[in-house]
Amino acid sequence: MLPRDAQASRFTLDYQVNRVGDGAAVAGGYTTLVAFDYQRRRVTRLPEAFQAALTAPGRD
């Protein structure tokens, strides 16, 4: 999984599934995740440390 499009309150994870044996890609996709404050019932900012981890070099 690789994060991309990290912004203040959301980021996207790209992923790929490879077949055992020959390693051929058989499926792929992405999921966009949004930080949400359930007490306030609204979108909120990702913690700074989390944002930094998403954009740090060598994270994969």
Percentage of residues in the chain with pLDDT exceeding 90?
A: 70
Question: What is the pLDDT confidence band of residue 23, given thresholds at 50, 70 and 90?
Answer: very high
Question: What is the pLDDT confidence band of residue 16, given thresholds at 50, 70 and 90?
Answer: very high
Take residue 22 and report the two structure tokens written for it: 């020959």
pTM higher than 0.85 for the full model? Answer: no
pLDDT for 20: 96
Residues 52, 60, 14, 5, CA torsion sign:
positive
Max CA distance (Å), the chain:
49
- Residue pair 26/15 in contact by the 8 Å Cβ criterion: no
Question: What is the pLDDT confidence band of residue 60, given thresholds at 50, 70 and 90?
Answer: low
pLDDT for 14: 94
Q: What mean pLDDT, rounded, does the chain reach?
A: 91
Nearest CA to 1 out of 13, 19, 18, 17 is that of 13
Phi-psi region of 25 (alpha: psi -120 to 50; beta: other; left: phi over 0): beta
